[in-house]
Structure 1
Amino acid sequence: LADLATEIALCRAFLYDVADRLDAGDETGLSRDSSTAKIRCTEAAKQTALEAVQLMGGYGYTREYGME
């Protein structure tokens, strides 16, 4: 869980940095960084969801719990 939380925090910081640079008008290397942020954030989200289902076990698949 700590690894997932760290990855989410890093993705959030990187995404906010890219957004701040976009708002400031600094477009140097922005397409590469925005693509990298998109890939990294979606992979972190997917990995977090998969790990959450694994942690929940069978409850991760049943409709009685929000994880399904």
Structure 2
Amino acid sequence: MNGRPCSKVACARDAISTLTYDYADSMAVLGPLSQKAEPHAYDLCAVHSERLSVPQGWQVIRHVALGA
């Protein structure tokens, strides 16, 4: 493991994205891995990023990094 680990319990994969929640707007935001670990964000591996689900009525915003 070279980077930060996935936040999911028992997952040993490297994180590739960061998930944050906006409870007031019923929104989850998934974007590229943040530069540093944040206490109120969740770092997710590719598998858990793809499997992300949110409560009914919430929306998911997926940001992608452009370029290489």
- Same fold? TM cut 0.5: no
Rg bigger for which structure?
Answer: 1
Normalised by the size of structure 1, how large is the TM-score?
0.24
Specify which structure has the bigger relative contact order, considering alpha-carbon pairs within 8 angstroms and separated by 6 or more residues. Answer: 2
